[in-house]
Amino acid sequence: MAHPPTQDEKDLEVDHVEVVNQHTGAVDNKYLTHAEDDAAKILREVGLVEFTVDEDRRVLRKLDIWVCIPMFITYTLVHLDKSALSYGVVFNLKKDANLVGQEYAWLGSGVYAMQLIVQPLSAFALVKLPIAWWVVGNIFCWGVCLCCMAAAHNFAGLMITRLLLGGFEATISPSFIAMTQLFWRRREQTYRNTAWLMSSSVAGIIGPVLSYAIGHVHSGIKPWQGIFLFLGCITLACCPLIFWMMPNDISSARFLTPKEKAIAVQRLRDNNTGTKTSTWKWEQVREALVDPKTWGWSIMLACMAIPSSGIGTFNTLITKGFGFSSFDSILFQIPASVLTLTFLIAGTWVMNKIRLRSPVVAVFVLFPIAGAASLLYIPRTNAHALLGAYYVIMLYTPLQPLVYSWANMNCAGTTKQRTVGAIMFIFQCAGNIAGPQVYLEEEAPIYRTGLYADMACWCLLFTMIVTMALYLKYLNRRQMKKRERMGRVVNLRDMSIMTLEEAAAYKRELAAAGESEDINSHAFDDLTDFQNPDFQYVL
């Protein structure tokens, strides 16, 4: 007598279809859902292909060149253009634009307020529109906005252009999170997320140098106007290059041959996160809303955003308050960026070496807490000690890319990924709005309230990191029980965080034991991490 299907089986309800390899005429039996993702469509058109480790690496190199490089360029532009305000303020922007009270702080918050408003549109667009075209259109528009900031002469004009700038920049982080999930294995994602997110540190090196040079130019416009105009023009000049290089997805990657596209797809099978589908699934939205991980990551992003936006808006004013000149205050940002870049690369390497994310992120939180405490209590007459404490605080910078990378690895299903990314970014925007407001004008140059608020955020972040690690460990145990009920491999190891050689050896081990047939068989069925029994959470 047939038994009614269990919930686990309902989650995996699929259609049986035959996949014909167009090159060999062979028929491959595949199990695909009603709304298969784009990867499944590529495999249906090209068929399964055998490939070597060297071919795998060759495809990876092409992806790094044609996808990661334009992502890096774009995010460098994002941080250069967003930081233009903090570079301009040391060249009398407040005085020339007649800014009073908290108006300068609101210019810092305004960017993120608009990002908060447009984020739902961005999440929907990332499912329905070609990602690269959507990104390039927004790059062009914010470049125009930054150029227009040079013509603003009061708070209203600056605020309008900053709001528009924030609206067009809002989609970049969610878009690149989506692209990272779309093109790379989970082990590779850590380095690629680091590659495009470390552009904030690179921009922190380039921006001060450019601003220092522009500040010495006297050509009939104010130095801050020259900074806005020059950086805006650089952004516009990069648009054709980014449009030419960046693909929308694997199927549109003209730098890959048909076989390499199939390899690029099959590389992602171990992720169990799918690639991309243009079908918006409301059931995945509902799952994202009831998933505790969604709100855990979001709170963590808010805890990082409040200090990040506050210090990012007031960093040059903080260092100028140590007794340095305007030009020195800008140049002193460069060592901080070099230091954070070094820590980010080192942290990423350690994460992949130990194959754990939470311990590294937790340790990194301790540095800014110590730096902020030191900055509050070091005598204001000791400028060099204050500068050293400021540099220790700036080690908060690697936290965001490392947490983003960690969160990306622990979510599956196209619509759920975009929804979780949107919610995370909304919380980040809310934190970014609040950050500059706790830096009170009357407390300059010490900004005690801002530093105390930042320390509280970092302490809460530490608690959330430990809590999330414990919860992910619980979810992995739950996945094991689900596989056991379904008669699948129980103690499945996560191949997506292995090296190529380790993954190949483990697959041979599974094949020898006769257990490889069902492994990752639903990787491209656009299932969520709750639905797919083979999904494994990364601690």
Q: Tell me the mean pLDDT in the region 286-293.
A: 94
- Evaluate whether the domain defined by 53-257+280-476 bears CATH number 1.20.1250.20: yes
> How far is 475 from 433, CA to CA, in rounded Å?
33
pLDDT at 276 > cutoff 70: no
For the chain, give the mean pLDDT.
Answer: 82
- Select from 258, 281, 235 the least CA-distant residue to 75: 235
- Select from 246, 223, 211, 253 the least CA-distant residue to 96: 223
Q: Tell me the mean pLDDT in the region 25-30.
A: 37
Task: Supply the pLDDT for residue 440.
Answer: 87
Task: Supply the pLDDT for residue 522.
Answer: 59
Type of residue found at 453:
A
> How far is 237 from 83, CA to CA, in rounded Å?
19
Task: Supply the pLDDT for residue 275.
Answer: 53
This prediction has a pTM of 0.73
The per-residue pLDDT for range 465-479, each reduced to its tens digit, is 999 999 999 999 998
> How far is 490 from 509, CA to CA, in rounded Å?
15
pLDDT at 499 > cutoff 80: no
Do residues 413 and 531 touch, judged by C-beta distance below 8 A?
Answer: yes
Angle at alpha carbon of residue 106, lines to 103 and 107, rounded to 5°: 90
Residue 14 tokens, joined: 């699929």
Task: Supply the pLDDT for residue 26.
Answer: 36
SS (H, E, C) 53-87: HHHHHHHHHHHHHHHHHHHHHHHHHHHHHHHHHHH
The per-residue pLDDT for range 349-389, each reduced to its tens digit, is 898 888 888 999 999 999 999 999 998 888 888 888 999 99
| Sign of the torsion formed by the C-alpha atoms of 475, 478, 484 and 488 | negative
Better pLDDT: 123 or 149: 149
Better pLDDT: 198 or 161: 161
- The residues of the chain that CATH labels 1.20.1250.20 are 53-257+280-476
Between the alpha carbon of residue 387 and those of residues 13, 335, 435, the distances in Å are: 60, 10, 21
pLDDT at 34 > cutoff 50: no
Q: Tell me the mean pLDDT in the region 400-411.
A: 84
Q: Which residues pair with 198 in a beta bridge?
A: none
Confidence band, pLDDT 50/70/90 cuts, at residue 463: very high
Confidence band, pLDDT 50/70/90 cuts, at residue 180: confident
Between the alpha carbon of residue 248 and those of residues 3, 170, 180, the distances in Å are: 44, 18, 12
Confidence band, pLDDT 50/70/90 cuts, at residue 271: low
Task: Supply the pLDDT for residue 133.
Answer: 92
Task: Supply the pLDDT for residue 415.
Answer: 84
pLDDT at 302 > cutoff 60: yes
DSSP state letters, 383-426: HHHHHHHHHHHGGGTTHHHHHHHHHHTT--SHHHHHHHHHHHHH
Task: Supply the pLDDT for residue 250.
Answer: 87
| Sign of the torsion formed by the C-alpha atoms of 371, 375, 379 and 383 | positive
Task: Supply the pLDDT for residue 237.
Answer: 95
Instruction: Report residue 406 CA to chain centroid gap.
Output: 10
Type of residue found at 180:
T
pLDDT at 45 > cutoff 50: yes
| Least confident residue range of 5-14, 235-244, 480-489 | 5-14
